[in-house]
Amino acid sequence: MSSFETVFGGMPKVTAQAPGRVNLLGEHTDYNDGYVLPIAIEQKTSVSMGRNNRGEYALCSHELDRMVHFTLAEPPVEHFAAYVYGCLMEARASGIETGPLDIYVESDVPMGVGLSSSAALEVATLRALRALTGSSLDDLRIAQLAQHAEIEYAGVRCGIMDQMASSLAGTKSALFLDTRTLERRLVPLPPASAVLVLDSGVARTLAGSGYNQRRAECEEAALRLGVTSLRDVHDISKADTLPEPLRRRVRHVVSENVRVLRAASWASAKEFGALMNASHASLRDDYEVSIPELDRLVALLQAHPDVYGARLTGAGFGGACVALCKPDTLQPVARTVLRDYAGAGFNGRMLVPPSDGAWVG
Ligand code: GLA
């Protein structure tokens, strides 16, 4: 088993961690200045670092079993290293100079399933840089720098939900966030409910997917409607003046914002579940970011008597889905649904829920 000590021959100066997240509601709304409702997951990414005097950065990923060397003038070509490099560059632009570092990354956040492993890596890297330099960056600023790092250096024109969730959310309550004003509050899960996350077994990457294209479509729709962003469209019939697929994209964003606002205002488990079901239909039909495997898994969950509602979570195009279930039913629901999913020829898995009573309303 490798570790910072075995790879670099000494103890790290600092270690910092940050969690992944699962989004309960509010998909593809964040880059439209809208509302989101994520919750942190137990799984975390841990970044250890210490200064070296070899004139270059050394970055080792435990999970990928890869070592990468680079300087700030010569960015690394490996994709995972781009996130760390981006954070180093953003930190430097904010006045945090460290000189060459040895960096060791370990993570149990599942990758490529829509649970924000990249945001966890970015936020943990920036927290480690804060600890190393004694900088006064606050958690909000860390989320903003992390988002810039992803946009500028990893090529994904993401919104700020994932980085805000990783930097500011906990596992006990969901984080209701207005992505325009960054106003936020914690929202407890509905009474008598628990959250289940299942992986469809179909991996996806954001950079190569239709993510940036969806964002461009939203920008074009906002321009044609004469608004700063789709957050400012309240009357869904305004979308009828637009050509397809812009009309459908707007319909999703506008209706999804309404769903988040409803869910965050003390919805019962049943109401919350119905909003999740409607969200999935909208993501499938209007936003067109689902795939047959996710539709099948979500349909199996929705048909289960102990499930209030289910939807794909994250950007879509593969990855995980999230369900709101009756408490104490997560294991049996997962078993039945994954068995039927396997019967349809697919290979899913349960992404372990927190053990200490978190994620339970
Ligand atoms: C990815 C992005 C987020 C958000 C979601 C979709 O996770 O990083 O900013 O847009 O997709 O809701």
Bridge-based pairing state of the strands 101-107 and 57-61? parallel
Topology of domain 4-186, per CATH? Ribosomal Protein S5; domain 2 (3.30.230)
Whole-angstrom distance, CA of residue 163 vs CA of residue 142: 8
**Residue 211 CA, closest ligand 1 atom number:** 11
- Percent of the chain at pLDDT exceeding 90: 91
Task: Reply yes or no on whether the pLDDT at 361 is more than 90.
Answer: no
* Model pLDDT for residues 36-49, shown as the tens digit of each residue: 999 999 999 999 99
Two domains, one topology: 4-186 and 190-351: no
Using pLDDT thresholds of 50, 70 and 90, give the confidence band for residue 266: confident
- The pLDDT assigned to 205 comes to 64
Query: Class of the 190-351 domain?
Result: alpha beta
CB of 28 closer than 6 angstroms to any ligand 1 atom: yes
- Nearest alpha carbon to residue 271 among 189, 163, 214: 189
Spatial contact of 337 and 304, defined as CB atoms under 8 Å apart: yes
Query: Sign of the C-alpha dihedral, residues 359, 39, 273, 348?
Result: negative
pLDDT, position 213: 94
In the three-class reduction of DSSP (H, G, I as helix; E, B as strand; rest coil), residue 52 is classed as coil
Specify the pLDDT at position 356.
52
The predicted model gives 240-252 an average pLDDT of: 97
Domain ranges in the chain are 4-186, 190-351
In this predicted structure, what is the pLDDT of residue 112? 86
The two most distant CA atoms of the chain are separated, in Å, by: 64
Query: Residue 360 carries which DSSP code?
Result: B
Tell me the CA–centroid distance for residue 30 and ligand 1, in Å: 7
Q: pLDDT of 304-327, one tens digit each?
A: 999 999 999 999 999 999 999 999
Confidence category of residue 204, pLDDT binned at 50, 70, 90: confident
Instruction: Give CA–CA dist 201/318, Å, rounded.
Output: 8
* DSSP label at residue 307: E
* Closest ligand 1 atom number to CA of residue 27: 12
Q: What is the mean pLDDT of the chain?
A: 95
User: Can you tell me the mean pLDDT for 262-280?
Assistant: 97
Q: Is the pLDDT of residue 208 over 60?
A: no
Read off the pLDDT of residues 110-129 as tens digits, 9 standing for 90 and up: 998 999 999 999 999 999 99
Number of helices (H), then strands (E), in the chain: 10, 11
Candidates 21, 24, 30, 39: which one to mutate for ligand 1, based on the most atoms within 8 Å of Cβ?
30
Coil, strand or helix: which one is 192? Answer: coil
Q: What is the DSSP letter of 354?
A: P
Is 340 tagged catalytic? no
Is the beta carbon of 165 within 6 A of some atom in ligand 1? no
My answer on whether omega of the bond before 245 falls inside 30° of 0, hence cis, is yes
Angle formed by the axes of helices 161-168 and 117-133, nearest 10°: 50
Bridge partners for 322 per DSSP: 197, 311
C-alpha of residue 210 to centroid of ligand 1, in Å: 12
What pTM does this model have? 0.95
